[in-house]
Structure 1
């Protein structure tokens, strides 16, 4: 089987299934595991070069709708009659199901069941620890600073927060992604600021960009130096790597 992945989360699902060796091309942003960087790169996930995709003669393309704008790729695949499946994970259960769906599409159903089982067990283990936490800190997640975007209730980071024995301060907003402002964040007074800007490496985010915001020196999280600059690749991509991020988060928020 010759497989192409059009976004990082799909590429990571292939690795979790132990099938990375089937990949013959990936989008420009797929960077894990390291070996995929040597594969043909087919453009950014919102502007895939479908001519290149066609030239690689894939048996299956893993398309996605996890980011607005990806519909264009799917329309192009349909027009060219390129075999594909579409993943659109919004929750941890969706990721579990995508492991099964991807393996089924590759005619390896047992591989999918096994991977999904391991995913569930690992998630349950950390949930057990999180449920025993004496204190459930309030977390503010920041995906983007200008304008401010944060995950709402219909988002895997709300689930990740709860599994880690914490609470997303925007879980009351019934959206996947919430555009808000710094005054609203300040009024919710979170215990931790969890900064993971989409597409930005953590090394490029300086803490003073956060602490210098008007009035934010009054936040408990700032006063107590509870500002977590996190790896966006462990929190912003709907893939099994969210469990790596979850385990790391648990260790950071529970002293």
Structure 2
């Protein structure tokens, strides 16, 4: 895997000066889903939820302003590069954080999302935390759970990086990262045939009914960027359950397996290989599976390299 922190590291000397000046800078305003947030000061006791959101904080080199993270070890293994980036920062909760956990850590900022650490009507939401002086920035991809929005694009991930950088007054770091990502993406898309997209199905989990990505999940944007066609493009949701019948009918040529949790990627492949109901699916018949990690297919710095893998698989299908 390529070092996706390299672009931020190259801008470190600039970013340090910006960060220092940000402590006494003018207030900044950002849009978070359907809310407008104003930050008078740089957050000093921030927490991020989930592995992909935490990787965004690391890519912008914001650990000096963090008191911890949540929602990783309960579902996923902390990888070596993530462990190294987090250093001594503690995991405050292995799964969803409670309000008590955040208050005990004297948190002043939470980077989370709907179904990424927060549930509609739950005890941890922007509204329930506001009274305690905790400001919440919501992952852009997750806004579909509380408001109408357009289908997800790669700009959603860039938007989050830019907004986080504004909040922490490290704008140049985000722009350096995004310029690098956009160049990489342009190089990748130049290799694929957008006129004849490959039919792609994302298989996250579930045997009775599969959990997959609709048009409001980052996986949809990644498939399109790689020259593919998400066969569940018409599902008006982000990550959701569907029936197997339309999967069989739409006959994917490539199946993306999301690797996380107790059921391994190989077990998911074998479930599809050994089920007679799937034997006529093009991808199963030709054993075309691509395994992506959870943090590669949810919004974050690893999306670009994952699109490269998708594009390679798409090109292989058409050869």
Q: TM-score by structure 2 length? A: 0.69
Question: Quick one: distance in 1 between partners of 2:57 and 2:277?
Answer: 45
* 1:64 matched residue in structure 2: 113
Summarize the Cα distance change of 1:85–1:215 in structure 2 as closer, same or farther, 3 Å threshold. closer
Alpha-carbon displacement from aligned partner over 1:189-237 (angstroms, at most 9, x marks no partner): 11112121664574563532121224211222112111333322211x2
CA RMSD of aligned residues (A): 2.7
Question: Quick one: distance in 2 between partners of 1:88 and 1:9?
Answer: 13
Report the CA distance between 1:103 and its aligned residue.
0.9
Contact 1:205 1:229 (C-alpha < 8 Å) held by counterparts: no
* 1:238 matched residue in structure 2: 299
Q: How does 1:131-150 map to 2 (within 5 A)?
A: 132=193, 136-145=197-206, 146-150=208-212
User: Which ranges in structure 2 are unaligned for 5 or more consecutive residues?
Assistant: 1-43, 143-151
Summarize the Cα distance change of 1:174–1:59 in structure 2 as closer, same or farther, 3 Å threshold. closer
* 2:103 matched residue in structure 1: 54
Summarize the Cα distance change of 1:196–1:65 in structure 2 as closer, same or farther, 3 Å threshold. same
Q: TM-score by structure 1 length? A: 0.85
Question: Quick one: distance in 2 between partners of 1:120 and 1:55?
Answer: 40
- Bigger Cα displacement from structure 2, 152-161 vs 200-209: 200-209
* 1:82 matched residue in structure 2: 134
Question: Quick one: distance in 1 between partners of 2:248 and 2:288?
Answer: 14
For 2:92, what is the secondary structure of its paired residue?
coil
Summarize the Cα distance change of 1:152–1:64 in structure 2 as closer, same or farther, 3 Å threshold. closer
For 1:72, what is the secondary structure of its paired residue?
coil
Find out whether 1:223 has 2:285 as its counterpart: yes
Q: RCO greater where, 1 or 2, for CA within 8 Å and sep 6 or more? A: 2
